[in-house]
Amino acid sequence: MDHEAFDYEQVDAQGRLRHLLKLRGLDASVILDLLTRAQGYIRPIGHAPARDDCLAGRTVANLFFEASTRTRASFELAAKRMSADVLNLDVNMSSRIKGESILDTIYTLQAMQADIFVVRDASAGIPELIATKVEPHISVLNAGESDISHPTQGLLDLLTIRQHKSTFDGLAVTIIGDIAHSRVARSLTEGLRIVGDSEVRLVAPSGLEPDPDDYPGAIITDDIDEAIAGSDVLVTLRIQRERIKEKSSLMTSHEYLKRYGLTEARLARARPDAIVMHPGPMNRDVEIASSVADGPQSVITQQVSNGLAVRMAILAAVSAGFDRA
């Protein structure tokens, strides 16, 4: 079997979103269009969810080779609410554990007429690799790639910021925690750079600092109190223990909360209308005090609702390109 290698530009020749592999490289207009589409899919809790038939007769394959609650559940619900057939591959019962490669898994599902692959994997480069190999009408959506990229999270974070701040210019956005291993921090920062002109402050404990080359223009510090002062947006991150080999150097939960946790006292240093975000999953009373996570400035559950709307918007956008078959 000879599988041709295809171009994997994120936007096709007609300017339509084909793949979503990373936010870097996308035009602001593409990102803002996705946010506007997503806003149109938002309904209040307790009301009937938005629906759209644009994926009727199409198949979405969710391939999560790393754990997920929010991303996986929201992609599944988004696809179902758009009338797609949805395949959630049970990776622990799949032939990958017998040694089948990711590409052979993809070719197998492509032969069953999967149209969209939603992929989360612990290895860097997997979404791009798949995107070079699938047929022209197929889309690949990155649902979390190692510590590299989480573009749908970046979009839902941007949408949440826009809902509260109505601008992406002139904000102080402070991201606190394990920046070194955070695909969330990278994608949000990439997105902010594309759509506006805000100051990004990265607070990282010793040993968890990012490579400054990955964050041009950002302030990198370990002084959490100074960074929080005057912030408009605070994003807290958990320590990605699964990506850290030498765990003995990590602080205890109690020590971490004291030194780097977002407590009520620290939050009081931010602007009074600052919002508190967390991508989840949260470790309460470690990187964020429970009272802050549940407090009046927290928009964490709104981020989850926005995640579903953003994933519907992405599915709708790529569905316009099925005529490339």
Binding site for ligand CP (CB under 6 A): 68-72, 144, 153, 279-281
Residue type, 148: I
- Closest approach, Cβ 30 to ligand CP, in A, equals 21
What are the residues whose beta carbons fall under 8 Å from the beta carbon of 321, sequence distance 6 or more? 12, 14, 16, 17, 18, 137, 139
Distance CA 257, CA 284 (A): 9
Q: Which is nearer to ligand CP, 89 or 110 (CB)?
A: 89
Q: Which is nearer to ligand CP, 110 or 305 (CB)?
A: 305
- Closest approach, Cβ 221 to ligand CP, in A, equals 24
Distance CA 75, CA 79 (A): 6
CB neighbourhood size of 48 (10 A): 6
Q: Which is nearer to ligand CP, 52 or 157 (CB)?
A: 157
- Closest approach, Cβ 286 to ligand CP, in A, equals 16
Q: Is 178 helix (H, G, I), strand (E, B) or coil?
A: coil
- Closest approach, Cβ 163 to ligand CP, in A, equals 18
Residue 135's Cα: distance from chain center in Å? 25
User: Which runs of consecutive H residues, i.e. helices, occur in 111-210?
Assistant: 126-133, 151-165, 183-195
- Closest approach, Cβ 190 to ligand CP, in A, equals 16
- Closest approach, Cβ 304 to ligand CP, in A, equals 9
Q: Which pair of structure tokens corresponds to residue 171?
A: 């904000």
Give me the residue label for tokens 């004291």.
Answer: 258
Cα–Cα distance list, 30 to 26, 194, 199, 317, 318 (Å)? 6, 10, 22, 10, 12
CB neighbourhood size of 223 (10 A): 11
Q: Which is nearer to ligand CP, 129 or 304 (CB)?
A: 304
Q: Which is nearer to ligand CP, 69 or 108 (CB)?
A: 69
Q: Which is nearer to ligand CP, 261 or 279 (CB)?
A: 279
- Closest approach, Cβ 122 to ligand CP, in A, equals 12
What are the residues whose beta carbons fall under 8 Å from the beta carbon of 33, sequence distance 6 or more? 317
Q: Which is nearer to ligand CP, 22 or 72 (CB)?
A: 72
Nearest to 231 by CA among 197, 193, 271: 271
